[in-house]
Amino acid sequence: MHRNDSTLTSPSATALATLGEFGLIARIASGVCSGEGVVTGIGDDAAVTTLSPGMQLLTSTDMLLEGVHFRRSWHDPYRLGRKSLAVSISDVAAMGGIPRWALLSLAIPPDSNLDFVDEFMRGFLAMAAEHGVTLIGGDTCSSRSGLTVSVTIMGEQLPERIIRRSGALPDNDIWVTGTLGDAALGLRLAEGHPGRSSDPRNSGVEEVGFLLNRLLDPTPRVSAALALAEAGVITAMIDISDGILADFGHIAEQSGVGGRITLADLPLSATFLSHTAHLSAVPYQLVLSGGEDYELCFTAQASSREKIVDCMKKCGIAVTRIGIVTRSPGVTAVTCDGSHYTAQTEGFNHFT
């Protein structure tokens, strides 16, 4: 990005073509406040920031493509802006890190309405403000196909508080925050395949709203992750973007262990249960492999149970033990009678 001297504030529907690249950058920059550690933000060849004393840098990047990760027909620009940053903040949180700065690249179809961009940015910057993140730069260009969003997040943390995927030990408990499967059920609703009937209008409006919001506006579990990192009681952590089976699978693989997840212990929301009550069985494949929950999955010694529950209670975040780390590799889900549950699909995997 190149400039930060804008006085453009009118949220008019002026075409992007009139505004131009540098006008758009100025318009975006005008909504950005400075933040902790920012020496030079938007407006030079590179942003300049300083880490807090003793801290290491955490960096992650995510790309979201129209037609692959979202559809503008069901993802409103405000929540799309929020989610674009939330999924990256979630990555820093999953390391136990403090999110600090973001870069945003937007490839925009040239016939786009400026209101769309304004609403997107309003959502992005609202999510940023909620987590103390400052937008420090980016890139804007015209797209000849759909909207493409690329976000890089930077965070920091003391070395001893950074939590990796590789630290899980046999007999550790497997924990998750919040509830699982809501976003996957929301995606089915958004795509016109509601669980209850073929017409989403038959579902309760509040139920549908809750499930769609879990998909379209996920909450990165920053405060919970930071509390866990500071408490020093967990051995490995990941955020659940591809489904608990796949994502705990990454912990298992990198830790050289396996895991057994108990279906009956998986935390399901009341809305998920009521919305799928008409089915002959709980659709566990949505819970295990649906993805996009952006909850945390972590492991810890059994002796830390009380501390973990206390810690999460202070954050106001629900937490549930869902299984146990095994010495033997492979991740399995087991039913009440101990038999293996075979998921219909694994987590989301591009290209396959």
String marking each residue 69-98 x if it binds its own copies according to CB under 8 A = x---------------------xx-xx-x-
Q: Name the minimum Å distance from CB 130 to its own copies.
A: 19
For 88, counting Cβ atoms within 10 Å of its Cβ (0-12 exposed, 13-18 middle, 19+ buried), the class is: buried
Is the CB of 23 or the CB of 209 nearer to its own copies? 23
State the pairing for strand pair 296-300/173-177: antiparallel
Residue 297 pairs with which residues in a beta bridge? 176, 238
Among 153, 176, 180, 226, binds its own copies (CB under 8 A): 153
Residue of 11, 20, 192, 204 interacting with its own copies (CB under 8 A): 20
Q: Backbone phi, then psi, for 148, in 5-degree steps?
A: -125, 135
CB 115 within 8 A of CB 245: no
Binding mask 283-322 for its own copies (x = CB under 8 A): ----------------------------------------
Give residues 224-243 in contact with its own copies (rule: CB under 8 A).
Answer: 237-239
> Considering the complex, what minimum distance in angstroms separates the CB of residue 2 from its own copies?
6
Q: Which residue in 114, 113, 111, 132 sits closest to 52, CA to CA?
A: 132
For the CB of residue 92, give the shortest distance to its own copies in the complex, in Å. 5
The residues in 30-59 that bind its own copies, with binding defined as CB under 8 A, are 39-40, 43-51, 56-59
Please say whether the beta carbons of 132 and 89 come within 8 A. Answer: no
DSSP letter (8 states) at residue 70: B
Q: How many CB atoms lie within 10 A of CB 283?
A: 18
Assess 259 for contact with its own copies (CB under 8 A): no
Among 27, 29, 42, 60, contact with its own copies (rule: CB under 8 A): 60
Q: Which parts of 156-175 interact with its own copies (CB under 8 A)?
A: 159, 162, 164-166
Contact region with its own copies (CB under 8 A), list: 12-20, 196-204, 215-223, 313-321 = 12-20
Which tokens is 90 given? 């979630």
Tell me the two tokens of residue 276.
């799928």
Alpha carbon distance 248, 312 (integer Å): 20
